[in-house]
Structures are given as C-alpha cells and as structure tokens.
Amino acid sequence: FPEKIASNLKFLNNLQPEWSRYVTIVYQTKYLHTADYTQLYDFLKYNQKEVDELKAERIAKIQDPLALMANSNNPYASPAPHQDQSLFN
C-alpha cells in the first residue's frame, strides 16, 4: 500500500506543469491512495485535450517575441519615469 502511494506520487510529481491542475485534483480527492497507474492514466487521458490547449498557449507565448517582452521583468521594456523638464532649462 505505501509503495503504491510512493509510486503514484513519483509519477504525478514528474508530470509537466500543464498537468498541475489535475495533479491537484488527484491530491485533493485522495484518489492517490486507492488508484493504480491505469486509473491515474485514464483520469489524465480524459483531460488530455484541455492540457494540450494549455500547452499550446504556453508555447505561443514563448514563440511570440512581443508576448515574451510583455511578460518579462526587463526594466528596459518599461517606459522611463517622467522627468521634470525644469531641470534642463
């Protein structure tokens, strides 16, 4: 029994980030303690379409340079603070 839980945890913790919502569902429903690999796989497979859409959105953001800049913490991507013109007169 503890071996099953340990292997399920290892399996779930190694999934890609797109699956985090479904991993949380498994943890919250205590399904982890009773499910075997095939049941976990069936649950994840059932939600494959939504995960594929999330993955496509993530890839699109990475490949779109404007989206990448909009989401970056680059200080040069932000407008400069307004400077008082009287300093230059």
Does any domain span residue 10?
yes
Does any domain span residue 86?
no
Does any domain span residue 41?
yes
Taking Cα atoms as reference points, which of 71, 73, 41, 36 lies closest to residue 57? 71
pLDDT at 82: 46
Confidence of residue 85 (pLDDT cuts 50, 70, 90): very low
pLDDT at 87: 40
Model confidence pLDDT, tens digit, residues 19-63: 999 888 888 887 777 778 788 889 889 989 999 998 898 888 777
In this model, does residue 8 exceed pLDDT 80? Answer: yes
Taking Cα atoms as reference points, which of 35, 33, 13, 34 lies closest to residue 24? 13
Cα separation, 58 vs 55, whole angstroms: 5
Cα separation, 58 vs 73, whole angstroms: 17
Does any domain span residue 81?
no
Our count of domains for the chain comes to: 1
pLDDT at 65: 66
Q: What angle do the packed helices 20-29 and 37-46 form, to 10 degrees?
A: 130
| Containing structural domain, residue 41 | 2-72
**For the chain, first and last CA: distance in Å?**
79
